[in-house]
Amino acid sequence: MLKVLRQAFRTGILTNRFPAVQTVPPDGFQGKPVIDFARCTTGDVCADACPTGALSFARGHKEPGTKMDAAELILDYGKCIFCGECMRAAPESITVAAELPPATAEKKDLIRRARYQKDKHKRWEIVEADSTSHPSGQSAENATSAEILGASVREAVYKLFGRSLHIREVDAGSCNGCEVEITALSNPIYDIERFGIHFVASPRHADMLLVTGPVTRNMAPALKQTYDATPDPKLVVAVGACGISGGIFGQTYASCGGIDSVIPVDMYIPGCPPGPEALLRGILFALDRWPGRK
């Protein structure tokens, strides 16, 4: 026992200072693909390499007001599993950033588009693209309010609930990658309980459902029952690519796809899987939305 105490004192405090300080990802961390739309003139190559359809290159229609062939390149971070195959297929126009897209309340914020048309030499040239190749996630106002919330989250939780925030984690059919990261939220480094946030065993005691995985057909009734058993008002957070869109599994005879195909969702946290800090940030953003929830 004395040896354990001695080691604990020597180790010191390990808990990070999130959200005041963000952890720098380790070397080799593979995050979101970032596309230079102006240089990406062979969208079908990287789209063919994408295993989940997060990248698509639709062509065959005419540019409005002209007779020129047109196409649209779409990048959906909600479907992306961050495998890097698109970068390997088109390294001249796609790079991988050392970060994941931030959580968002709207799935459309995870989508980026660019339109192309063929020039006189039958080569694709860009006509219009989103101002950025990756989503901002939250507006500057929301980001600021989230920082304020993170700095005083105990007071915010008490103001919203009159007590601690209770989360029920629901595995609707995941590979358990997201569960590993969620479990890390309770370790000494991330220590989610310092924010007054606790995981509970029953949805009847929960304020928030943290749902992972594509919803398997067999789990759909159980997820609905869990949602109904959670007292109002409640928040639902979809975790990871599978929770947002079905991920690599998609929508099949055995899978319903994303969480919002079964129950309403208030916040989406992209990643495959999202790390503990991304999960914390998404939970704080969800709390920040609470006063505006109808």
Report the mean per-residue pLDDT for the chain.
78
15-19, 65-69, 219-223, range with greatest mean pLDDT: 219-223
How many whole angstroms separate alpha carbon 56 and alpha carbon 74?
5
Cβ proximity of 41 and 123 under 8 Å: yes
Of the residues 103, 129, 155, the one at which a domain ends? 129
Which pLDDT does position 265 carry in this prediction? 92
pLDDT (mean) for 6-30: 68
Domain encompassing residue 52: 33-129
In-domain check, residue 14: no
Of 77, 82, 81, 88, residue with least CA distance to 49: 88
- In the chain, what is the greatest distance between 2 CA atoms, to the nearest angstrom? 81
147 shares a domain with 98: no
291, amino acid identity: P
3 belongs to a structural domain: no
DSSP 9: H
**Omega of the bond prior to 233 within 30 degrees of 0, cis?**
yes
Question: Are residues 199 and 282 both part of a single domain?
Answer: yes
More confident residue, 217 or 130: 217
The CATH number for 169's domain is 3.40.50.12280
pLDDT of res. 145? 45
Name the phi and psi angles at 184, rounded to 5: -65, -20
Rounded to an integer, what distance in angstroms lies between the CA atom of residue 53 and that of residue 32? 15
pLDDT at position 222 over 90? yes
121 shares its domain with 155: no
Most confident of 56-65, 116-125, 260-269: 260-269
Q: Which of 129, 153, 187 is the last residue of a domain?
A: 129
| Mean pLDDT in residue range 253-272 | 91
- Tell me the mean pLDDT in the region 38-65: 74
Give mean pLDDT, residues 128-154.
48
Question: Residue 145 to residues 112, 116, 141, 152, 153: CA-CA distances in angstroms?
Answer: 25, 37, 6, 11, 11
Cβ contacts of 97 within 8 Å, gap of 6 or more: 31, 32, 33, 34, 134
Please check whether residue 47 is in contact with residue 55, taking contact to mean a CB–CB distance below 8 angstroms. yes
> Structurally, how many domains does the chain consist of?
2
User: At 116, is the secondary structure helix, strand, or coil?
Assistant: strand
8-12, 44-48, 202-206, 228-232 — which is least confidently predicted?
8-12
Residue 103 falls inside a structural domain: yes
Q: Which of 129, 160, 184 is the last residue of a domain?
A: 129
Angstrom CA distances, 13 to 46, 229, 238, stand at: 45, 38, 31
pLDDT of 60:
61
pLDDT for res 147: 47
SS3 state at 105: coil
In this predicted model, what pLDDT tens digit does every residue of 72-109 receive, in sequence order? 888 889 898 888 888 888 888 888 888 888 888 888 88
Neighbour count for residue 11 (Cβ, 10 Å): 9
Q: What is the mean pLDDT of residues 225-237?
A: 90
